[in-house]
Chains A and B, each alone.
Chain A
Amino acid sequence: MAPKVFVPSPDRPPPVDTSGPLVWIRRNLFRDVPNTLMTLLGAYIAVTFVTAVVDWALIDAVWQAESRRECLDLVGRSGACWPGVFVWFENLIYGLYPKDQVWRINTGFLLLVVWMVPLWMPRVVSKVAIGLSAVMLYPFLASYFFLGGEKGLVWTALIAAGLWGLIWVWATALTETLTGKSVGTWLIGRLGRSGADEATQMRIRRGAALALFVVSVLLVAPAEFVEVRTQFWGGLFLTLVISGIGITFSLPAGILLALGRRSKMPVVATLCTVFIELFRSVPLITILFMFNTMLPLFLPAGTEVNQLVRAIVAVCLFAAAYMAEIIRGGLQAIPSGQYEAATSLGLGYWQTTTQVVLPQALKIMIPAIVGNFIGLFKDTTLVSIIGLFDLMNMARAVGEDSNWLGLFIEPFFVVTLIYFVFCFAMSCYSMNLERKLSAGRERS
């Protein structure tokens, strides 16, 4: 007898009342009378607001004019007057940086992107080293692009170190992606010395690193950029420089301060606590002011500290103090059992801290840390108080131009959009990072 043929039953659509967009809408937006009223009210507010903004910014806006007067004659105050922003746009982004040198800023930031790209390449394993090199070496390269000017011997070596780092990062990214080996191992393989003893291999690695450094020096030495003094820096560029340095400094410094505050050594703990409490209890604006006016008094007469440097130092210290408390919160969330397990496994203080405690603490603190970065980014607007022309201050300057006198709303609108884009990007990145780090580590 032939076996019976199994006929799979056809799929049925799910019952109508349990799913589907219409059901969702009915359930969540029009469930009952109060719910429906709230939905309609919310929709009314949203529509009114959006149409008002669109009318002002696009439909009624003036796109071509020579001065604000012309705009006012055309549409009055009902539409935006964009020409003023167009004229000032380059200043909003680059400050008073000489126009023919602006490419240096663009290249500088592009280099950072190029430096970081390998961090997102899946087969690259040396991500920590690449990240560290971006923090430790990129600044030298970037500061020469931004500042230019005479470079002495030391300065040349540092810039060369920056270039060296960039080349190393990409060499690593390429060999790890293509062959799965680190640059050094790949190079030794190519030289046919894989069988050599460890000392020889080490010598080859050192030699290659040194040769690359010499090449970098030779490349860097002839480069000559005109000096652009920091007085001419401004706009988004200045905002990014200040907040970028503040952000990169605040994380490691905050970690050290937080560890110090929890230290068993009373002197270290007291010093860290005093520092943190001091800087946290004073508004940033006060710190900026103090550093700007009082720092020169403490320094030996004749030493000139650049105003931008003063602002950056103030921002860094302030940010580090805040970051320290966030990190400390994360450290406290790690159960003592983790320390005990690490200690009983024979790990020392730094091993326990870097391998066991910090990775867990930083992971739970990502939202707070990124929140702090975003706060810092926006707080840099305060540097206008000591006369630096950051993005915000530059926007204000538009309305003081005789042609565009009183044009404040439009530049602030644009600046708001710029801030939003940057902050929202950071926020998205933090959410993405959280998802990535928690994948597979929890019982789902």
Chain B
Amino acid sequence: MTARMIEVRGLNKWYDQFHVLKDIDLTVRDGEKYVICGPSGSGKSTLIRCINQLEHHQEGDIVVDGIAVEKKGRNQRAIRSRVGMVFQSFNLFPHMTVLDNCTLTPLLGLGMPKAEAEEIAMTHLTRVGIAEQALKFPLQLSGGQQQRVAIARALTMRPKIMLFDEPTSALDPEMIKEVLNVMVELAEGGMTMICVTHEMGFARQVADRVVFMDGGEIVESAPPDAFFDSPTYDRSAAFLSHIL
């Protein structure tokens, strides 16, 4: 049995009075790919943001690669450095070149010398097929290219887990494809991944499990074939008929 990369137990979170996440349990093992889907406002983003501590929860435990999240946030940086995150809106740093975006973590976070940092950055930029744009500024690239840079940038941190929050929903159809290709390749390379996405083709192709959330709860968690062909709950069936 492979190691548990992420373990979420009895997670509860509130925004003031609003109960966003209710008793979430989730275990992701080394190398597993999870796809989370569900209607808007169901708490998908909140859940993955809790995992790398962009949001703080009130109840329950989160363990990332053997490190338990502490309420006081003392081991935040240790956890964040193991978890790469890709956002819907890319969030590249517009005042730096693509290359500088990607050398930031190696230089500052990992304390590498410049030459080595640039080498690592270029390796990952090549991997996502964007090496020749390295000296451009992010806003000079197309959306799909920006998102691929964002993936490369997250990879420079050498994360053990990658989180994706609707990485393709701000993109045009052709660009969706180029980003998904990069993600598929990453998955095939053995990366542990949690993707919030409604790209069901992608889910079928790479996911080990599809998790369906609604109203802050995990309604259903099943392998993709089972999930798509015979959803257990009416709610997931209705959702599927909606998006497929």
A346: interface (CB < 8 Å): yes
B13: interface (CB < 8 Å): no
Assembly CA distance A443 to B95 (angstroms): 13
Chain B interface size, under 10 / 10 to 19 / 20 to 34 / 35 or more: 20 to 34
Who on chain B is nearest to A344 by CB?
A: B85
Assembly CA distance A391 to B91 (angstroms): 49
Q: Provide the residues of chain B in CB contact with A363, threshold 8 Å.
A: 95
Who on chain B is nearest to A354 by CB?
A: B108
Interface-centre pick from A340, A344, A359 (highest chain B CB count, 10 A): A344
Partner among B80, B89, B93, B139 whose Cβ is within 8 Å of the Cβ of A344: B80
Q: Are the C-beta atoms of B87 and A443 separated by less than 8 Å?
A: no
Assembly CA distance A347 to B154 (angstroms): 12
Partner among B95, B137, B139, B154 whose Cβ is within 8 Å of the Cβ of A345: B154
Who on chain A is nearest to B52 by CB?
A: A344
Assembly CA distance A359 to B108 (angstroms): 16
Q: Are the C-beta atoms of A441 and B52 separated by less than 8 Å?
A: no
Q: Provide the residues of chain B in CB contact with A348, threshold 8 Å.
A: 77
Question: Are A346 and B80 CB-contacts (below 8 A) given A355-B108, A442-B139?
Answer: yes
Q: Are the C-beta atoms of B95 and A347 separated by less than 8 Å?
A: no
A356: interface (CB < 8 Å): yes
Smallest beta-carbon distance A27→chain B, Å: 35
Q: Provide the residues of chain B in CB contact with A346, threshold 8 Å.
A: 77, 80-81, 105, 109, 157
Smallest beta-carbon distance B69→chain A, Å: 14
Q: Provide the residues of chain B in CB contact with A443, threshold 8 Å.
A: 139-140
Interface-centre pick from A338, A341, A347 (highest chain B CB count, 10 A): A341
Partner among B80, B81, B85, B95 whose Cβ is within 8 Å of the Cβ of A441: B95
Number of interface residues of A (CB under 8 A): 22
Question: Are A338 and B85 CB-contacts (below 8 A) given A347-B105, A351-B108, A441-B137?
Answer: no
Query: From residue 395 to 413 of chain A, which have CB atoms closer than 8 A to chain B?
Result: none
Assembly CA distance A346 to B107 (angstroms): 11
A360: interface (CB < 8 Å): yes
Q: Are the C-beta atoms of B139 and A356 separated by less than 8 Å?
A: no
Q: Are the C-beta atoms of A340 and B87 separated by less than 8 Å?
A: yes
Q: Provide the residues of chain B in CB contact with A440, threshold 8 Å.
A: 137, 140
Question: Are A343 and B109 CB-contacts (below 8 A) given A348-B77, A443-B139, A443-B140?
Answer: no
Partner among B80, B91, B105 whose Cβ is within 8 Å of the Cβ of A337: B91
Smallest beta-carbon distance A295→chain B, Å: 42
B41: interface (CB < 8 Å): no
Who on chain A is nearest to B55 by CB?
A: A340
Assembly CA distance A338 to B91 (angstroms): 6
Query: From residue 201 to 234 of chain A, which have CB atoms closer than 8 A to chain B?
Result: none
Assembly CA distance A127 to B46 (angstroms): 42
Q: Are the C-beta atoms of B83 and A344 separated by less than 8 Å?
A: yes
Q: Are the C-beta atoms of B80 and A341 separated by less than 8 Å?
A: no
Query: From residue 73 to 108 of chain B, which have CB atoms closer than 8 A to chain A?
Result: 77, 80-81, 83-85, 87, 89, 91-95, 104-105, 108
Assembly CA distance A335 to B52 (angstroms): 19
Q: Provide the residues of chain B in CB contact with A335, threshold 8 Å.
A: 91
Q: Are the C-beta atoms of B54 and A344 separated by less than 8 Å?
A: yes
Q: Provide the residues of chain A in CB contact with B89, threshold 8 Å.
A: 337
Query: From residue 99 to 130 of chain B, which have CB atoms closer than 8 A to chain A?
Result: 104-105, 108-109
Smallest beta-carbon distance B91→chain A, Å: 4
Q: Are the C-beta atoms of B84 and A344 separated by less than 8 Å?
A: yes
Smallest beta-carbon distance A285→chain B, Å: 39
Q: Provide the residues of chain A in CB contact with B85, threshold 8 Å.
A: 340-341, 344
Smallest beta-carbon distance B166→chain A, Å: 13
Assembly CA distance A371 to B96 (angstroms): 26
Query: From residue 318 to 341 of chain A, which have CB atoms closer than 8 A to chain B?
Result: 335, 337-338, 340-341
Q: Provide the residues of chain A in CB contact with B57, threshold 8 Å.
A: none
Q: Are the C-beta atoms of A341 and B105 separated by less than 8 Å?
A: no
Question: Are A345 and B92 CB-contacts (below 8 A) given A355-B104, A441-B137?
Answer: no
Partner among B77, B91, B95, B154 whose Cβ is within 8 Å of the Cβ of A340: B91
B44: interface (CB < 8 Å): no
Who on chain B is nearest to A340 by CB?
A: B54
Smallest beta-carbon distance A177→chain B, Å: 21
Assembly CA distance A441 to B140 (angstroms): 7
Smallest beta-carbon distance A211→chain B, Å: 28
Smallest beta-carbon distance B3→chain A, Å: 21
B153: interface (CB < 8 Å): yes
Q: Provide the residues of chain B in CB contact with A441, threshold 8 Å.
A: 94-95, 137, 139
Smallest beta-carbon distance B135→chain A, Å: 10
Q: Per-residue CB proximity of A153-186 to B under 8 Å, as 1/0? A: 0000000000000000000000000000000000
Q: Provide the residues of chain A in CB contact with B92, threshold 8 Å.
A: 341
Q: Provide the residues of chain A in CB contact with B105, threshold 8 Å.
A: 345-347
Q: Provide the residues of chain A in CB contact with B137, threshold 8 Å.
A: 440-442
Smallest beta-carbon distance A330→chain B, Å: 13
Smallest beta-carbon distance B114→chain A, Å: 12
Q: Are the C-beta atoms of B104 and A345 separated by less than 8 Å?
A: yes
Who on chain A is nearest to B53 by CB?
A: A343
Q: Per-residue CB proximity of B212-240 to A under 8 Å, as 1/0? A: 00000000000000000000000000000
Taking Cβ atoms with an 8 Å cutoff, the residues of A that contact B are 335, 337-338, 340-348, 351, 355-356, 359-360, 363, 440-443
A sample of 26 cross-chain residue pairs with beta-carbon separation below 8 angstroms, ordered by A number, consists of: A335-B91, A337-B91, A338-B91, A338-B93, A340-B87, A341-B87, A341-B91, A343-B54, A343-B80, A345-B80, A345-B104, A345-B109, A345-B153, A345-B154, A346-B80, A346-B81, A346-B105, A346-B109, A346-B157, A355-B108, A356-B93, A363-B95, A440-B140, A441-B95, A441-B139, A442-B139
Counting from the closest, the 9 A-B pairs by CB-CB distance are: A341-B91, A344-B85, A337-B91, A346-B81, A346-B109, A441-B137, A345-B105, A346-B80, A351-B108
